[in-house]
Structure 1
Amino acid sequence: MIKKLLSFFAITLIALDSTAMEKLIVNTDSRESISLNGTWHYIVDPYETGFYTYRYKERGEGDREAYWNRPVAKDKLDRLEHGYQKPYSIEVPGDWNSQSDTLTYYEGTIWYQRDFDLRKLKKGERAFLYFGAVNYEAHVYVNGKKLGSHKGGFTPFNFEIPADLLKEKDNFLVVKVDNKRHPQEIPTVNTDWWNYGGITRDVKLLVTPDNFIQQYALQLDPAQDIRKAKKDSRFLVSGSVDLNRAAGKGDVTIAVPELSFERRFPVSGGRLEFEFELEDLGLWSPDSPKLYQVKLDFNGETLTDSIGFRKIETAGKKILLNGEQVFLRGISVHEEIPQQVRRAFSAEDAEQLLTWAKELNANMVRLAHYPHNEQMTRMADAMGILVWSEIPVYWTIDFGSDEVLDKAKTQLEEMIVRDRNRTSVIIWSVGNETPVSPLRTSFMKSLIDKARSLDDSRLISAALEVGYNGDVNRIDDPLGAYTDIVSVNEYLGWYGGLPDDCRTAKWEVAYDKPLFFSETGAGAKGGFYADEKTRWSEEFQEWFYKEQVAMFKRMPDNYSGLSPWILADFRSPRRNHPVYQQGWNRKGLIDDKGIKKKAFAVLKNYYREIENAQ
């Protein structure tokens, strides 16, 4: 409940002690940093010789044969069995699969190494290594000492480097990267995308004050009546600031210069919660992606962020953005650049993928099936594209394992903490196509509860499967009782029957909630032309989309959007037809050469009709 405001800038402050656990550092672009991107050396180590002895015992810290130690020969008789040098070089960020034909299918351990310099730290300064993502398991060492390890291939992490370990010149940095699949991991052994290994996102060396803002959240208060706020032009903003440790004494200053707002909040613990009002605020939307420069200052460090303000909610069977019904004209996207057969990671990559989505007349993207790089969500903010962001709880993970649940919760938290200030993100998804069982539903509900505890300003969903039963397709997955919208993947006419089966299809939903089609699609080999009754032809895919669109036009009033599968062809080891697939999932509306297929125009025209009707 919103407390009664006593004045225009009424404020509620709560100072709480933070825990001692290491937390993710957010908004690294706004901090003093040194990029460690570029050329690294590497060693391919399928037997993990650099990590284990021949008795399969983990090597000790001082073991010269451990690959995290600098290999230095004492004399010409000295025996060394590892080294880092040319031509064994690899680019970071990037996946190893696309950088060497030898490594295309490789799953295992590769050791990455580079040197770095760092100026002498001043009194009261600290240094951290930050990784945007490493797929899948990373062990990080500096100058022969292990800083820590991390699991999860699509979320960021950081480790502090002890000051007494650092040198001004030639610090020896090693990262053990292992992308092997395991039944007890997230995702598990069976997926439908390429297992790109490597240091796939930015690496940075951060320099911070001794006591600093580690995380923060800032958004329109989710409890306020947005229509009343718009009428009065008075908007309640709420949020929090988490310091890396409890402050003895100090102030956090929050400013929005464009609105001539600045407010200082005293803080003595490790956490600050706040509320304040802003007047004459321009709300963010796809039609008007307004962003404000927000500044947060503490202990001599100023963080600057571009933040938009909007409210997303549901009302019965409708999705509302800023109090008005919105239809999600979406498209699913994998984090891949098809023309170069590699992981996407840069701002240029994000611009390519999101520009394709805009050309489709889409106002939304489903970032499947894992959190994409931060460039995507920041670019979506700027371009005015709504975002569904998801963790890779996919298909048949071990729903009975508390250990697996903890890993899923960790990835969920890392996704939300990194992107909860990205206004484009309107949906947190806790998984895709998970098989129905009481154990699974309990597992998934636990994730939903976790997401809401971390961020109650967005919708929560999961991509469900539909139960086909003749002409009536009933959506009654018990997980739908806990999500904010009911999202379902359907492939009528591709995995069963033919596209014209859509003509008699009827839909029933067990829940009085918005219905969203999180996937639909059909495969087509780009440039293969035939009649519409020839599977894998562009004409068949075009026919499929025409029948789908006609069905969608007959949908009941809870129909609130769709994100067909998928924007562009992507690599998958499951897709092995020697002529039409060749290791590619061909359901893209754009082929692996970047050329639009015929079905692209069908969906584009449908979205234009919807846009013009609103």
Structure 2
Amino acid sequence: MAKIKLLFIALLLSFGYMNGQGIPLPEHPRPDFERSEWTNLNGKWSFKFDKDDKGLEQDWKDGKVSFKKAINVPFPWGSELSGVADEADIAWYKKEIKVDESWKDKRTFVVIGASDWETTVWLDGVKLGTHQGGYTPFSFELTDHITYGRSQQLVIRVDDVRRDFTLYGKQGYGNARGIWQTIYLEARGTQYLDALHFTPDIDNSKVVATAYLVDDAQADQTVTVSVETESGPLNKTITIPQGSYSGSVSIEIPNQHLWSLDDPYLYDATAQLGNDVVKSYFGMRKISVKNMPGTDYPYISLNNEPIYLQLALDQSYHPEGFYTFPSDQFIKEEILRSKSIGLNGIRTHIKVEVPRKLYWADKLGLLVMSDLPNSWGEPERKMKAESEYTLREMVKRDFNHPSIFSWIVFNETWGLKHDDEYGGRYLPSTQNWVASMYYLTKSLDSTRLVEDNSICCGYGHTETDINSWHSYLPGYKWQEFLQQVSDSTYAGSGYDFEDGFYQANQPNINSECGNVWGYDGSTGDVDWSWDYHKMMNAFRDHPKIAGWLYTEHHDVINEWNGYWKFDRSEKFTGLEQIFPGMTLSDWHSKVYISTGGEISKSMKGGEQAEVPLTISVMSGENLGQQLTLKYKLTATDYLGEAHEGVEGSVQVPYQPWMQKTIDPIKVTMPDYSSVAALTLELSDAQGKVVGRNFMHFIIDSEEELSGITTHTVSAKDFKEAKWSAKSWDVLDGKKVNGAGKGKFVYAIEVPKKSIRKAKEVYFLAELSAKELFVKDQEQYQEDQDFMKGSRVSNSSNPNSYPMTDETLYPSEIEVWVNGKKVKSMTLTDDPADHRGVLSWHNQLRDGKLREAGSYGYLVKVPMDLDMVTSALESNNNKINVELRSVNGGGIAVYGKDFGRYVLDPGIVIVD
């Protein structure tokens, strides 16, 4: 339903734009560099594909050829919101424009935020210019060709033929074809500013303002800069001397108001050169490296305070707009989503992000790692030139965004290898060029950290400010792996560096992690919360590693491990149901309590468990001298009923940045088979909860509950199975599945004498709907090119079992007892998340997943005692129970070692 609603809204917006009821993205695209006189040209443009590349020779630039299609700019062609399918590599745009008489005393430009890849613009058939590159803004002057107050024709040709040297990134998720950022007309002064940069210096309470011209000044130029402060405006003058293209001035900021994640204060500013006025803003903040207090562990720091990075890889795609988001509100909500789950930053992945998203990160307080997109060819001359050009332009455009704390020049050595018989080599000459790109970036911006290469897959760093690395692992491997990384991280080590390059004192951070590539052939869509839980425990147990970056913020077309789905609808972890009050933010808390590498443990009934505990404080906040740790054990027995068990509290001495192992908790297990959750809650002196976590115990006991007798069969021991689509079992029958319409029939032996004193008899089982996934139809496609956007089903991977989300898959079922229908009901869904404790606990540790995290609903079917007695007499002490799927939604039956409850299907007798 959520998908349908989103699609309807998208189509409604598109229809409105295309029918003159408004334009998409009407806001100024660059609040950091804005002139007041501008006209947004987004919306309906005439459009024509040029499949045979005939447009130039046939003079389409004159506008006399009919462009019969209509495209919704600035959405890339091929995207749903553009209104046109992807039919060719070259296309033409046409629009009538009118420049107001009031602009006569200024110079008029057409500005395109981004267009991929070669873009040529004509006005009334006169060529204005050509630009090559797909990610950064460019402009052409119209002034000498304008007839003010009268309609004129703007024609644009975009050539997006694939070239190996261009920076393609992951456009396979949705190509950025043609114009994909806002296009607008702009009135500039007779002399005008090309860029305006603010360099904050919080240690000295000042900011340096630098003004840039397009060319060297023919005579001394004066630029007036005004900064709005809480004490009033501050005005300063910049002089750009003759023969220079830039000038700077230092501005003291009284009572400086720092930009921080909790208080993202921005200073508004304007700069005036003659009759050219530009509005901008900046934040007073500092990015540096400081040791974590009390240690020699280098951490990335904000305003001279270490910050533990908790980030998400943000592919920054939209299912209907691809590279382009449908509205500014949606862009804002993207930033709010990250903050809502306790993240403090994102990495905008191999895409030069749209400026308004960076604006909202500035405005709302979220850190950003900014990537240069990659090519998929070899590092030859054209690729190097394209990379250097785009790097310069992205730093120039985005310099003022306080949210950006680092530039990442390359990712996973993509585009840096020379193809040969060895499958591609990263040559020393290329490594030296990569090092030179690091130095180039530092020369362009000395205020931020720079990464040469966000490394993976056996390749290492050259020169870098951050010792980052990627790793994708099953949850059970993280503790050992992070210990190895910690032991290998020290000045002079060559670990994770190329030959001839060595570690210095860089912060060591993970810059991509998760389970998506951690299993054989990746995972497909799977409950990520279980492995995530283990991974978070492991990271917080290894504070030498100064942060992590989870893959990823939202699903894309072939990776489904996002916090949100591709349409940004919700996924459900089940945390709130396991531990009321707990959310995903608790795994991102500044104060964290960890039980170590194991989050589930097998126990015997009555056995005592000793639970190791570590407290990790990643904050300088004063929370008092001690914390209170409350713990409680709640066991769900083999009838599915919860019982509160042992509970208590201990006092824990507190200090900022504390990383401490505390005395273990000793808890005694109940003496009946059950799944028990041990919840842990940390609170400060005022009783405010500052951290939550939990672990599970799987308890096996021979003891029966008082007054209860059960007669069960294993899930796989059915008498009959008949299914229209397919039936199969999981892990030697721990779970059985029937897809389509059909039935499972169980014959459950119940001695007649056992019901003589019975007060109640009922059938009990854990059941769910059973969707027939692509993997169950054995349709998995091998050798997919995931990095370039192969489109496959989210359930096609053999490891997959789609995580619980807003889309339900219900099944209408009937329960029949000895040939009589006794109950009809709906199994709401075929879910998989952290609640499927037994399904995760009993997975084999062999790099594969078998319906991990899947679980069902507790189904209780009361039986009439007379009917039961009669049935046993006529059926040789057996009760036949039929579980029928009547609408094709299937049935999964869970045994005591799979799902959520430690029970096999059976008959329960209450005396």
Question: What is the TM-score normalised by the length of structure 2?
Answer: 0.53
**Counterparts of 2:83 and 2:103, CA distance in 1:** 45
- List per-residue Cα deviations over 1:116-167 (Å, max 9, x = no partner): 0012476652111100111222122211122222222221111112413555
**Counterparts of 2:171 and 2:145, CA distance in 1:** 43
AA aligned to 2:222 is D
Among 372, 376, 386, the alignment partner of 1:407 is: 386
Whether the 8 Å CA contact 1:134–1:153 is kept in 2: the answer is yes
**SS in structure 1 of the partner of residue 251 of structure 2:** strand
Whether the 8 Å CA contact 2:408–2:454 is kept in 1: the answer is no
**SS in structure 2 of the partner of residue 168 of structure 1:** coil
1:197-346 map, 5 Å: 197-221=177-201, 226=202, 229=203, 234-245=204-215, 246=217, 248-258=219-229, 259-260=231-232, 261-269=234-242, 270-315=245-290, 317-338=298-319, 343-344=324-325, 346=327
Among 567, 587, 596, the alignment partner of 2:561 is: 587
Among 50, 53, 60, the alignment partner of 1:48 is: 53
Whether the 8 Å CA contact 2:78–2:86 is kept in 1: the answer is yes
Matched, 1:169 2:150: yes
AA aligned to 1:236 is K
Among 361, 371, 374, the alignment partner of 1:390 is: 371
**Counterparts of 1:339 and 1:604, CA distance in 2:** 29
1:272 shift after superposition: 1.0
AA aligned to 1:448 is Y
**Counterparts of 2:353 and 2:316, CA distance in 1:** 6
Among 35, 41, 48, the alignment partner of 1:30 is: 35
1:27 shift after superposition: 4.7
Report the equivalent of 1:95. Answer: 76
Report the equivalent of 1:471. Answer: none
Percent identity of equivalent pairs: 23
- Report which of the two structures shows the higher radius of gyration computed on alpha carbons: 2
**Counterparts of 1:49 and 1:587, CA distance in 2:** 44
Whether the 8 Å CA contact 2:49–2:88 is kept in 1: the answer is no
1:378 shift after superposition: 0.7
AA aligned to 1:36 is L
The 3 A distance-change label for structure 1 pair 342 and 206 is closer
1:404 shift after superposition: 1.6
AA aligned to 1:276 is I
1:102 shift after superposition: 9.4
Matched, 1:518 2:489: no
Report the equivalent of 1:454. Answer: 444
**Counterparts of 1:370 and 1:599, CA distance in 2:** 29
AA aligned to 2:460 is D
The 3 A distance-change label for structure 1 pair 123 and 83 is closer
**Counterparts of 1:160 and 1:389, CA distance in 2:** 30
- List per-residue Cα deviations over 1:520-567 (Å, max 9, x = no partner): 23449xxxxxxxxx954543x22221232232123251x222221111
Whether the 8 Å CA contact 1:94–1:200 is kept in 2: the answer is yes
The 3 A distance-change label for structure 1 pair 547 and 45 is same
Whether the 8 Å CA contact 2:81–2:321 is kept in 1: the answer is no
1:429-440 map, 5 Å: 429-434=408-413, 436-440=426-430
1:315 shift after superposition: 3.6
Question: What is the TM-score normalised by the length of structure 1?
Answer: 0.78
Among 501, 504, 527, the alignment partner of 2:477 is: 501
Matched, 1:464 2:454: yes
Among 46, 62, 68, the alignment partner of 2:61 is: 68
Among 422, 431, 435, the alignment partner of 1:445 is: 435
Report the equivalent of 2:402. Answer: 423
AA aligned to 2:533 is K
**SS in structure 2 of the partner of residue 257 of structure 1:** strand
1:359 shift after superposition: 1.3
1:105 shift after superposition: 5.3
**Counterparts of 1:361 and 1:34, CA distance in 2:** 38
Structure with bigger strand share is: 2
Q: Which moved more, 1:110-119 or 1:176-185?
A: 176-185
1:422 shift after superposition: 1.0
Whether the 8 Å CA contact 2:79–2:85 is kept in 1: the answer is yes
1:327 shift after superposition: 1.4
**Counterparts of 1:109 and 1:600, CA distance in 2:** 48
1:99 shift after superposition: 3.0
Whether the 8 Å CA contact 2:107–2:188 is kept in 1: the answer is yes
Whether the 8 Å CA contact 2:72–2:81 is kept in 1: the answer is no
The 3 A distance-change label for structure 1 pair 523 and 166 is farther
Among 514, 521, 535, the alignment partner of 1:548 is: 535
1:594 shift after superposition: 2.2
- List per-residue Cα deviations over 1:367-414 (Å, max 9, x = no partner): 1111111111111110011111111125x4321x22221111111111
- List per-residue Cα deviations over 1:291-324 (Å, max 9, x = no partner): 1111212203332222211110124622111111
Q: Which moved more, 1:316-325 or 1:434-443?
A: 434-443
**Counterparts of 1:196 and 1:464, CA distance in 2:** 23
The 3 A distance-change label for structure 1 pair 105 and 563 is farther
Runs (5+) with no aligned partner, structure 2: 1-29, 292-297, 418-425, 494-502, 576-582, 593-616, 620-911
- Let me know the Cα RMSD of the aligned residues: 2.8
**Counterparts of 1:162 and 1:362, CA distance in 2:** 47
**Counterparts of 1:568 and 1:203, CA distance in 2:** 28
Whether the 8 Å CA contact 2:438–2:464 is kept in 1: the answer is yes
AA aligned to 1:437 is L
The 3 A distance-change label for structure 1 pair 162 and 298 is closer
AA aligned to 2:534 is E
Whether the 8 Å CA contact 1:107–1:197 is kept in 2: the answer is no
Report the equivalent of 2:331. Answer: 350
**SS in structure 2 of the partner of residue 283 of structure 1:** coil
**Counterparts of 1:285 and 1:556, CA distance in 2:** 23
1:101 shift after superposition: 10
**Counterparts of 2:235 and 2:214, CA distance in 1:** 23
Whether the 8 Å CA contact 2:120–2:157 is kept in 1: the answer is yes
Whether the 8 Å CA contact 2:412–2:456 is kept in 1: the answer is no
Q: Which moved more, 1:279-288 or 1:266-275?
A: 266-275
AA aligned to 2:167 is I
The 3 A distance-change label for structure 1 pair 340 and 192 is closer
Which structure has more relative contact order (CA 8 Å, sep 6+)? It is 1
The 3 A distance-change label for structure 1 pair 295 and 247 is farther
Whether the 8 Å CA contact 2:180–2:323 is kept in 1: the answer is no
